[in-house]
A and B are shown apart, each in its own frame.
Chain A
Amino acid sequence: MRKLIITLILIIPLILTGCWDKIEIEDRAFVMAIGIDTSNQAKNYVVTFQFPNVKQVSSAAGGGGGGGGQPNFSISEVGDTVFSASRHVSTRLDKRLYLGHTKAVILGKDVVSNRDKFLEVLDTLDRSYELSRKLRLLVADGKAQDILLKNYKFDPDIGAYIDDIFKQYNRTSIFPNIDYNKITKSLHDTNGNAIIPVISAGKDELKIAGSAIIKNYRLAGWMSDGENMGYMWLMGYVKGGDITFDMPTTDGKEVKVPFNITNTVMKRQVTEQNGKIIYKLKYDVEGEVTEYSFQKHGEMFDTNVLSTMEKKADGIIDKMINESLKRFQKDLKVDMIGVGDYIEKYNPSLWSKVGPTWNEKFPDIVVEPIVTTHIRRIGLFR
Chain B
Amino acid sequence: MFLLGLFNKLFKNKNNGNGESKDVESPKVKEDIEENIKYIKDMLKDSDDIIYREFWVGEEFQHKLELVFVDGLVDKGIINEHVMHSLMLDSRQAKPSIDEIKKNIYEVIKKAAITGGDIKEIDDLDKCITSILSGDTALFLDGHPKVVIISSKGWQMRSVAPPETEMVVRGAREGFTETLRVNTALVRRWIRDPKFKIKQMQIGKRSKTDIALLYIDDIVNKDLLSLIQERLKQIDIDCILESGYIEQLIEEDWHSPFPQMLNTERPDKVAASVLEGRIAILIDNSPFALIIPTTLATLFQSPEDYFERWMISSLLRILRFTAAIIALVGPSIYIAFTSYHPGMIPTKLALYIASTRQGVPFPAFMEALIMEATFELLREAGIRLPVPIGQTIGIVGGLIIGQAAVMAGIVSPLMVIVVAVTAVSSFSIPSYSAAIAFRLLRFAFMILAAVLGLYGIMLGFILMLTHLVVLKSFGLPYLSPFVEINLSDLADTIIRAPLMVFKKKTTYT
Interface residues of A (CB under 8 A from B): 1, 4, 14-15, 18-19, 21-26, 28, 30, 32, 52, 54-59, 61, 98, 100-101, 103, 130, 132, 160
Bound Cα distance A28, B338 (Å): 10
Q: A21-B340, A26-B357, A28-B354 are in contact. List 4 more A-B contacts (CB 8 A).
A: A18-B451, A25-B339, A54-B351, A57-B351
Dominant secondary structure at the B interface: helix
Bound Cα distance A32, B350 (Å): 12
CB-defined contacts of A19 to chain B, threshold 8 Å = 450-451
Contact with A along B311-346 (1 / 0, CB 8 A): 000000000000000000000000000111011000
Q: Contact: A22 with B340, CB < 8 Å?
A: yes
| Interface size range on B against A | 20 to 34
CB-defined contacts of B343 to chain A, threshold 8 Å = 98, 100-101, 130, 132
In the A-B complex, the 6 residue pairs with the smallest Cβ-Cβ separation, listed nearest first, are: A100-B343, A58-B355, A18-B451, A54-B355, A57-B355, A26-B357
Q: Which of B341-395 contact A (CB under 8 A)?
A: 342-343, 347, 350-358, 360, 363-364
CB-defined contacts of B354 to chain A, threshold 8 Å = 25-26, 28, 30, 54, 57
CB-defined contacts of A160 to chain B, threshold 8 Å = 347
Bound Cα distance A54, B452 (Å): 26
Nearest chain B CB to A171 CB, angstrom units: 23
Q: Contact: B358 with A54, CB < 8 Å?
A: yes
Bound Cα distance A101, B341 (Å): 11
Nearest residue, chain A, Cβ from B356: A58
Nearest residue, chain B, Cβ from A131: B343
Contact among A4, A28, A30, A61 for B347, CB-based, below 8 A: A30
Q: Contact: B350 with A101, CB < 8 Å?
A: yes
Nearest residue, chain B, Cβ from A16: B451
CB-defined contacts of A59 to chain B, threshold 8 Å = 355
B1 at the interface (CB under 8 A from A): yes
B453 at the interface (CB under 8 A from A): yes
Q: Contact: B355 with A24, CB < 8 Å?
A: no
Bound Cα distance A204, B388 (Å): 61
Interface residues of B (CB under 8 A from A): 1, 338-340, 342-343, 347, 350-358, 360, 363-364, 450-453, 456, 459
Q: Contact: B352 with A24, CB < 8 Å?
A: no
CB-defined contacts of A101 to chain B, threshold 8 Å = 342-343, 347, 350
Nearest chain B CB to A65 CB, angstrom units: 11
Nearest chain B CB to A197 CB, angstrom units: 20
Nearest residue, chain B, Cβ from A18: B451
CB-defined contacts of B450 to chain A, threshold 8 Å = 18-19, 22
Q: Contact: A61 with B352, CB < 8 Å?
A: yes
Nearest chain B CB to A262 CB, angstrom units: 30
Nearest residue, chain A, Cβ from B336: A22
With known contacts A14-B452, A18-B451, A24-B357, A57–B338 Cβ distance under 8 A: no
Bound Cα distance A61, B352 (Å): 8
Nearest chain B CB to A32 CB, angstrom units: 8
CB-defined contacts of A55 to chain B, threshold 8 Å = 355, 358
- Give the interface centre of A15, A25, A28, A52 by most chain B CB atoms within 10 Å: A25
Nearest chain B CB to A62 CB, angstrom units: 9
Nearest residue, chain A, Cβ from B357: A26
Bound Cα distance A126, B342 (Å): 20
CB-defined contacts of B363 to chain A, threshold 8 Å = 22, 24
Nearest chain B CB to A216 CB, angstrom units: 34
Contact among B338, B350, B356 for A24, CB-based, below 8 A: B338
CB-defined contacts of B338 to chain A, threshold 8 Å = 24-25
Bound Cα distance A61, B350 (Å): 13
Q: Contact: A25 with B453, CB < 8 Å?
A: no
Nearest residue, chain A, Cβ from B364: A24
Nearest residue, chain A, Cβ from B2: A1
Q: Contact: A18 with B342, CB < 8 Å?
A: no
CB-defined contacts of B358 to chain A, threshold 8 Å = 26, 54-55, 58
Nearest chain B CB to A133 CB, angstrom units: 12
Nearest chain A CB to B7 CB, angstrom units: 15
Nearest chain B CB to A88 CB, angstrom units: 22
Nearest residue, chain B, Cβ from A29: B354
- Give the interface centre of A1, A54, A61 by most chain B CB atoms within 10 Å: A54
Contact among A15, A18, A30, A130 for B351, CB-based, below 8 A: A30
Nearest residue, chain A, Cβ from B338: A25
Nearest chain A CB to B346 CB, angstrom units: 9
Nearest chain A CB to B414 CB, angstrom units: 10
Q: Contact: A28 with B1, CB < 8 Å?
A: no
Q: Contact: A25 with B357, CB < 8 Å?
A: yes
Bound Cα distance A103, B451 (Å): 29
CB-defined contacts of B351 to chain A, threshold 8 Å = 30, 52, 54, 57
Bound Cα distance A132, B456 (Å): 24
CB-defined contacts of B459 to chain A, threshold 8 Å = 14
Nearest residue, chain A, Cβ from B456: A18
Q: Contact: B342 with A58, CB < 8 Å?
A: no
